[in-house]
Chain A
Amino acid sequence: MALTHDVPPRLDDLVPTAHRIGQAIESVIEGKGDVIRLTLTVMLAEGHLLIEDVPGVGKTMLAKALARSIDCTVRRVQFTPDLLPSDITGVSAYNQQTRDFEFKPGPVFANIVVGDEINRASPKTQSALLECMEEHQVTVDGVTYPLESPFMVIATQNPIEMEGTYPLPEAQRDRFTARIAMGYPEPTAELEMLDVHGGTSPLDKLQAVATTAEVTALIAAVRAVYVSHPVKRYAIDLVTATRRSPDLRLGASPRSTLQLVRAARAHAALQGRDYVIPDDLQDLAVPVLAHRLLPSIEAQSQRRLPEQVMADLLHRVPVPEARAR
């Protein structure tokens, strides 16, 4: 982690750039500032985003808008039950001319991959995508192909109760840095949407406001954000609390601790701060941790969602305290 100390934080660049991207997205999606900010946070934290909500609230629109506002390659995969792993990773096809097998890269070879309705695909296909997410590489026929950088998967999924869905297994949910719900727009925002979207798609007018290189530099700046020891301890306390909570059958993994702190760095950087404070962790704990948690039978019978349990835990775990006389 020598990097964190050597690279000078370029937060002065970061904040306006991130602000531009945010505004670009907001011009497409009305009144979802929180969601957009979280999306940017996940991107800067080199994570992947899972957007979960009922159909038609703009999940795909968000993903596309983000991709469009950064000048980078975007591929979109519509997950269906008959989608095969090779449809994502790519296949080795026999080339008549060269008389050799030739790798045809799949949609995963892009900076931003939008996986639409990821829970409609078979688990086999899902896991193929998830390997790419974790490893940042694809292995086909024994040959490993690295993926582009930056690389971010924005997956959307419908709530599990909907028909024709395969729920994502815990192991795969764990690979997403954060899960957010779009939620229905406010009436005013919806009205504006009717006005704007009535004629043309605003997505068409969207211009890229940042380059890939800029985003890479931003990510480097985020890595340099300072995380003090007490804040690290606090993150561990939060995660440990989920493992100890009697309301939860499964707590958060060590991977989630890592991602929580990474996301907190990005969160701090987006606010122009070069150090992480407990508030960053508190703001991110629910989107970053809640989708990995499994409620216990008792909590289920009380209809307590993991989000609520996590929010309760946030109120119980003490923040770092300065010890002085």
Chain B
Amino acid sequence: MRLALASGAATLAVSFTLYPLFATGAWFWYALGAILTVTALGAGASRFSIPDWAVLPAGLVGLTMYTTAAFSRDQAWLWVFPTFDSVAEVAALWALGFDDIQRYAAPVPASQGIIALTTAGVGLIALLVDLFAARMRLAALAGLPLLALFTVPAAVITEPLAWPSFIIAALGYLVLLLADGRERVNRWGRAVLARRQAGGSDSPATQPHVGALKLSGKRIGFAAIALAVLVPTALPTLSPNPLFGFGVGGGLGRGSNTITIPNPIAGLRGQLELPAKATVLSYTSSDAAPRYLRLWSLDTFNGDEFQMTAPTGRPEDRVGAGGRLPPAPGLSPSVAMRTNELGVEVSPDINRLEFLPLPYNTTSVDIEGDWRADRSTLVVFSTTELAAGQSYRVTTVEPEPTARTLDGAAAPPDDIKTRYLQLPDDLPEEIRELAVRETAGARTPFRKAVELQNWFTRRGGFTYSLATGGHGSSALIDFLMHTRTGYCEQFAVSMAVLSRVLGIPARVAIGYTGGTRVGDRWEVSTRDTHAWPELYFEGVGWLAFEPTPAGSAGQGSARVPAYTRIAEPSDDTERPGDTAAERNSEPDEADPSAAPATRGQGPLDREGTSSSTAVEEEFPVIAWVGVGVGAVALLLLVPAFARVVMRFRRLRAMSVPVAAREDVAVPYGRAVEVRSAGREGAVTRVWAELDDMLYDYGMSREPSESPRALARRLSEGNAFGPEAAEAVKRITAAIERLMFARDPGGTAVGAADLKLVRAALAASVGRRRRWRAALLPPSTLRRLGSVGTRLLDVFDRLESLEIRRATARR
């Protein structure tokens, strides 16, 4: 009976963890009904000694009737007996639920279908738990179905599960184990155990006394849960990636409900080499200018190639129907911006594509369906829709930064740095040297980026050719040092890598160039598939660069962004990009002070920006180990420090002048409430300090030892000199008077007495004990332990409340 109830409670506790999967709580009542049905059946079976084998079929029948009653009452006979129609209705509901689950991402709307599915699932789990725990008496094994239930939210939701929900689930399981343990001991008859002192309710001895056993079991259980919650917080974590796809949330599986991230790099050349040019999309823009349209944003570089971290689409980042995208990272409103509108029509004939081609930076997309934006990269994707045939309106806000703004960009934030500056450790040294050498003349990160772009497009003597291949570091070196022949992939990747070397956060965007103009529309074809680097500048955000040669000798529709055409030295006025070759021959270093962009900013400013570009010094591993060891040592010293602080505070408080004794009437309770003011406070502090001191030196006071007995023990047992013995006597006499006499009297105790006792104690123990008392004082740990005990006591009280109610019910 008890086991059946505990099984139900455990299932209920675990089913709480399903909460974040649903948008509303309606499902819960249905699931609760299923659990109650199973629990009632189980409890009834236990009560009336129904054979165990009959319970599973009975439970299934019960669940069926419950499902019928809950979801197809109208079709059923007498509401609960399933008929053909009702079964069909439930089956249809389930099918609908399956569809909904495919369509929606967590939290899913609580459609009737999903609720029906959830109810059936939870009910089955409850039945299994009951079967294992109450029928087969394998309560530990009942953890498996519970775990299965628990893994559903854990696997589906990208964010880590909230720890309270874990605690509730674990407590549920604990209740089950406790009930099982109790049942087991009860079968053995009376357990000979010492009663707990505080346990006032002496029930007649018909029931075995399992209190102590239960108590220790509970404490172990609570301690285990506490550890399970606390320890992981101290461990380094992996970024939480969902294990299985369920709705949107990324994932690299190829299931129908997951997004597919093709290898963009691999697909790039295939697209470019297609014999027949096929139109991918066409668009209009309000300013009639072309736009690069981005599909993917590749952020991780593993030494061979750039890859994309699976995007995460949270429900609140849903776009569509005028929904706004998350704000662009790093873009501050103070930068001049131009707003434009694009109308994009994607050709219905393109391959499976779950990402929307969008210009950067898009602020809103007006589109049908469940499309979501990734917060960090702003790529928009869907798990349920495809881009083919979509037409949508896009609002873009493009920053138009001046070279001066970019020169003055502050250092990027740490999260950007860690994610977008990461490079493999074995990156060849030549590449680093090259990056530094080719940008030697530039002072700010932005200038260096422009230098790099110029180097790729003009100075470096690079040739555009699709007839190259290979990835990896060697291919990178080949491309940069020797062949200098490649297509957009090599250019984009190389520039991103070199930028990262220089300390500029960089990523590679894959998408399409602006295409060609046909009438008032721009048409983008497979030939326009393109890769380009995006570099991060604080205050402006991500800016596209174009290292790939344009024009007929390069990627036809590639365009160098306007902001990279910075003013050259004053004698060389701004000219259109096609004359850039000339400008190249005169790099920036000619006369930095003459550059209009930096004029008037002064050396201070330049200094500031150059410091921000300093490449991060590599911290050697050994130093990290040292830091770790130091941190651990510091952590270990915390108790010792706390002890010293405590002693200092007590001694300092002793100098407080004498105050009148307040009448201390404690209605009930063993402790004497002593105001910590005046001499009484001083005496109790001395006493507390003495108590801690004794504990530290391993001569702790028994709870039944009176002050006088303590003084006797210390002066007789240990090699206390007459002075120290007198000091102990003084202290104990003072506390004795304080606690028990009508008049606390005027026995003076002070820090000197404590010091004497301390010295005597220290002399009477071994060196190891002395060190331990100083470095890892047990009294501090004891205080910590007592806090834990109090916490456990609270749990005990809660639990005993619950049991008392349960017994009252019976």
Contacts and interface: CB of A to CB of B under 8 A. Distances in A.
Does A pair with B? yes
B687 interface: yes
B704 A324 contact: no
Contact of B740 (A231, A241, A314, A324): A231
B488 interface: no
Nearest to B742: A226
Nearest to B738: A322
B674 A279 contact: no
Contacts of B708: 277, 279
Given A230-B739, A246-B195, A274-B742, A321 B672 contact: yes
A316 B741 contact: no
B197 interface: yes
Interface string A281-325: 010000000000000000000000000000000111111111111
Contacts of B709: 279, 282
Contacts of A274: 741-742
Interface stretch (B269-277, B629-637, B663-671): B663-671
Contacts of A282: 706, 709
Interface in B695-721: 702-709
Interface in A225-261: 226, 228-231, 233-234, 237, 241, 244, 246
A325 B194 CA distance: 32
A274 B706 CA distance: 18
A226 B741 contact: yes
A275 interface: yes
A324 B687 contact: yes
Nearest to B712: A279
A233 B740 contact: no
A324 B704 CA distance: 18
A228 B676 contact: no
A278 interface: yes
Given A229-B665, A233-B670, A315-B702, A325 B742 contact: no
A282 B195 CA distance: 23
B239 to A, nearest CB: 45
A318 B704 contact: yes
B735 interface: yes
A276 interface: yes
Contact of B674 (A233, A241, A246, A323): A323
A318 B740 contact: no
A243 to B, nearest CB: 10
A322 B195 contact: no
Nearest to B194: A246
B674 A324 contact: yes
A323 B673 contact: yes
A314 B676 contact: no
Interface string B377-417: 00000000000000000000000000000000000000000
Interface residues of B, number: 38
Contacts of A226: 740-742
Contacts of B676: 324-325
Contact of B704 (A231, A233, A316, A325): A316
A324 B741 contact: no
A279 B673 contact: no
Given A244-B197, A275-B741, A324 B688 contact: yes
Contacts of A315: 702, 704
A138 B704 CA distance: 43
B672 A320 contact: yes
A277 B672 contact: no
Contacts of A279: 706, 708-709
Contacts of B706: 277-279, 282, 319
Given A230-B666, A230-B740, A318-B703, 18 more contacts: A226-B740, A228-B740, A228-B741, A229-B665, A230-B671, A233-B669, A244-B197, A276-B740, A277-B707, A314-B704, A315-B704, A316-B197, A319-B706, A322-B672, A322-B684, A322-B688, A324-B676, A325-B649
Closest 10 CB pairs of A and B: A324-B684, A318-B703, A323-B671, A275-B741, A226-B742, A278-B706, A228-B740, A322-B684, A319-B706, A279-B708
Interface of A: 226, 228-231, 233-234, 237, 241, 244, 246, 274-279, 282, 314-325
23 contacts: A226-B741, A234-B670, A246-B195, A274-B741, A274-B742, A275-B741, A277-B708, A279-B706, A279-B709, A282-B706, A315-B702, A317-B703, A318-B704, A319-B704, A320-B671, A322-B687, A322-B739, A323-B672, A324-B676, A324-B685, A324-B687, A325-B649, A325-B688
